[in-house]
Copies of this chain bind each other. A is one copy, B any other.
Amino acid sequence: MDRRQKRTRQSIFDAFTHLLETKNYSQITVQEIIDEANIGRSTFYSHFETKDELLKSICAEIFDHVFAEDLKKEDTHDFSGRDKNLEAEITHILYHLQDNSRYIKRILSSENGDILMWYFKGYLEKVFEGELDRMDTKIPKDYVLNHMICDFAETVRWWMKHDQYTPEQVAGFFLGTNPFSEGIH
């Protein structure tokens, strides 16, 4: 990839996240991003089709980083640590989310918080897929999976709004109100 492209892309990301520190996603215009990034209008559009596409790219970047270790674990088929320390895995994810909380908060507080949540849930699917086995079979698997994913995603959303708890505490809250908590303690 051309140096200039990388540089431009990074400028856009920086401008966007910087703007997110002062206003909501929906309030930010493409022109503002362009001005903040000091790039030409056509340059922006040669990188991203729309503002939503930019948001998606940023979400992908954030979550690729957050879930990097977990996905790597799956790729190498190393399930050694799985199940016995779901709590550690969750805490780990929460720490990574905390690092990016400034951006995540802003994105979530706009009306388009759904977009980020949708992305987040996609990644969570891989994390919780393996947890399904011990569940009641009378209830549809996809309901239970969706339930777990939404539980955790909404826990994070709640956390991002309240902000006064540590990752360990939040992991405790989440597992303490969950049906699969019996399997862990």
Contact = CB atoms under 8 A, between A and B. Distances in A.
Contacts of A115: 111
A8 interface: no
A147 B154 contact: yes
A111 B179 CA distance: 30
Contacts of A168: none
B114 A177 contact: no
Count copies of this chain in the complex. Answer: 2
A155 B151 CA distance: 11
Interface stretch (A28-36, A38-46, A87-95, A135-143): A135-143
Interface residues of A, number: 27
A75 to B, nearest CB: 29
B176 A178 contact: no
Given A113-B114, A151-B150, A143 B179 contact: no
Nearest to A117: B114
Max chain B Cβ within 10 angstroms of own Cβ: one of A114, A151, A177:
A177
A86 B63 CA distance: 38
A169 B113 CA distance: 30
